[in-house]
C-alpha cells in the first residue's frame, strides 16, 4: 500500500502539488489529469528525484521519504519512463540482466528468461537494443521493471505512441504484473480508456490539487473530472 499524506511540492512560485493525499491499495492504480497537473511530480516524489515541501509518503508502513533513492530501488521501487532507458549496444537479455544484477540472490539469468517470456520477447532475447522498434523497447522496459523482486512499479505514460492493438497488449501485461511478481503498480496515462480498463482506483489531479480519488468508474463519472478535461479541450485548438 502507498500512502500519500498532505504532500505539497513547490518549485519557486509554482505549486506543483498542493496538499495531495491518497492511499493506493489496489494491485493497479491510475493517476490522471491535464498537462501540468502534477502527475510526474508525484512519481518524482516517490522515486526521490523531487523533495516534498511538506507532507509524507509511506510504503507498507515504511516512511519512504527518509530512504535515499538507491535504497528505494533496493526496497523494490521500479520506474519506467516515456523514453525508455535501453542500451543500444546490449541485447534485450543483457538490458534486463543489468537491472536484475542490482537485486540480491536467485538465479538471475533464469529470472530474466522467465520475464522475457512473460512479456512476449523470448524469441528476441538476442536482438540488440538499437534494433528494437518502439513497442519492443516498451516491452523490454517492462521486463526490466519486473525482475529482482519489485514491490512498487510506476509507469509514466506507458501507452504513449502505441497503436490500439499494442495498447491492449500493454494493458493485459500491466494487469498481470501483480500475480507474476507481487508488485503494486501505479500508472499515469492520457488514455482514459486504458486507465478505465486496468486501474481499479484512480487519482485525478488538476493544477496540483486532488479533484477526485476512488473507484475508477466513479471518478470518471464525476462532473468535476469531466470539467477538468473539457477545460483543457477548450484551450487546446
Ligand X SMILES: Nc1ncnc2c1ncn2[C@@H]1O[C@H](COP(=O)(O)OP(=O)(O)O)[C@@H](O)[C@H]1O
Interface segment toward ligand X; rule CB under 6 A; list 32-40, 83-91, 146-154, 217-225: 32-40
Distances (CA, A) of 177 to 26, 55, 104, 115, 209: 12, 29, 20, 10, 29
Taking CB under 6 A as the criterion, the residue among 2, 29, 41, 184 binding ligand X is 41
CA–CA separation, 60 and 1 (whole Å) = 5
CA–CA separation, 230 and 89 (whole Å) = 44
Which of the choices ligand X, Mg ion, none does residue 148 contact, using the CB cut-off of 5 to 8 A by kind? none
Minimum CB distance to ligand X, residue 146 (Å) = 24
35 binds ligand X (CB under 6 A): yes
CB proximity list for 100: less than 8 A, separation 6 or greater: 108, 111, 112, 147, 148
14 binds ligand X (CB under 6 A): yes
Enter the DSSP assignment of 182. -
In this structure, what C-alpha cell is assigned to residue 40? Answer: 510526474
| Residues 66, 69, 72, 77, CA torsion sign | positive
Which of the choices Mg ion, ligand X, none does residue 110 contact, using the CB cut-off of 5 to 8 A by kind? none
**Secondary structure (3-state) at 126:** coil
11 binds ligand X (CB under 6 A): yes
Half-sphere exposure in the Cβ direction for 160 (13 Å, CA): 13
Task: Provide long-range contacts, Cβ within 8 A and 24+ apart, for 120-127.
Answer: 120/169, 120/173, 121/92, 124/92, 125/91, 125/92, 125/93, 126/91, 126/92, 126/93, 127/91, 127/92
Interface segment toward ligand X; rule CB under 6 A; list 33-41, 63-71, 96-104, 226-234: 33-41
Q: Which is nearer to ligand X, 37 or 142 (CB)?
A: 37
Q: Which is nearer to ligand X, 87 or 230 (CB)?
A: 230
Taking CB under 6 A as the criterion, the residue among 2, 4, 7, 16 binding ligand X is 16
Q: Which is nearer to ligand X, 11 or 107 (CB)?
A: 11
Strands, sheet with 14-24, edge to edge from the N-terminal-most edge strand: 14-24, 2-11, 54-59, 62-63
Which of the choices Mg ion, ligand X, none does residue 16 contact, using the CB cut-off of 5 to 8 A by kind? ligand X
22 binds ligand X (CB under 6 A): no
Taking CB under 5 A as the criterion, the residue among 7, 22, 33, 40 binding Mg ion is 40
41 binds Mg ion (CB under 5 A): no
Minimum CB distance to Mg ion, residue 47 (Å) = 13
Q: Using CB under 6 A as the criterion, which residues of the chain lie in contact with ligand X when the complex forms? A: 11, 14, 16, 33, 35-41
Q: Using CB under 5 A as the criterion, which residues of the chain lie in contact with Mg ion when the complex forms? A: 40
Amino acid at each position: 500500500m502507498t500512502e500519500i499524506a498532505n504532500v505539497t511540492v513547490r518549485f519557486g512560485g509554482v505549486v506543483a502539488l498542493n496538499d495531495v493525499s491518497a492511499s493506493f491499495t489496489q494491485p493497479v492504480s491510475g493517476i490522471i489529469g491535464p498537462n501540468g497537473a502534477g502527475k510526474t511530480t508525484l512519481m518524482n516524489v516517490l522515486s526521490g528525484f523531487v523533495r516534498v515541501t511538506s507532507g509524507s509518503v509511506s510504503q507498507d508502513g515504511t516512511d519512504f521519504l527518509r530512504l535515499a533513492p538507491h535504497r528505494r530501488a533496493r526496497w523494490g521501487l521500479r520506474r519506467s519512463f516515456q523514453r525508455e532507458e535501453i542500451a543500444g549496444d546490449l541485447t534485450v537479455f543483457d538490458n534486463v540482466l543489468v537491472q536484475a544484477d542490482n537485486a540480491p540472490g536467485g538465479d538471475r539469468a533464469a529470472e530474466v528468461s522467465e520475464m522475457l517470456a512473460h512479456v512476449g520477447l523470448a524469441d528476441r532475447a538476442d536482438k540488440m537494443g538499437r534494433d528494437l522498434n518502439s513497442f519492443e523497447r516498451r516491452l523490454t522496459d517492462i521486463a526490466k521493471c519486473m525482475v529482482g523482486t519489485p514491490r512498487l512499479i510506476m509507469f509514466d505514460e506507458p501507452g504513449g505512441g502505441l497503436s490500439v492493438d499494442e495498447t491492449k497488449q500493454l494493458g493485459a501485461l500491466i494487469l498481470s504484473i501483480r500475480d507474476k511478481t507481487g508488485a503494486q503498480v501505479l500508472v499515469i496515462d492520457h488514455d482514459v480508456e486504458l486507465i478505465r480498463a486496468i486501474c481499479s482506483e484512480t487519482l485525478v489531479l488538476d493544477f496540483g490539487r486532488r479533484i477526485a480519488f476512488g473507484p475508477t468508474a466513479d471518478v470518471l463519472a464525476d462532473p468535476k473530472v469531466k470539467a477538468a478535461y473539457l477545460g483543457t479541450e477548450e484551450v487546446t485548438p
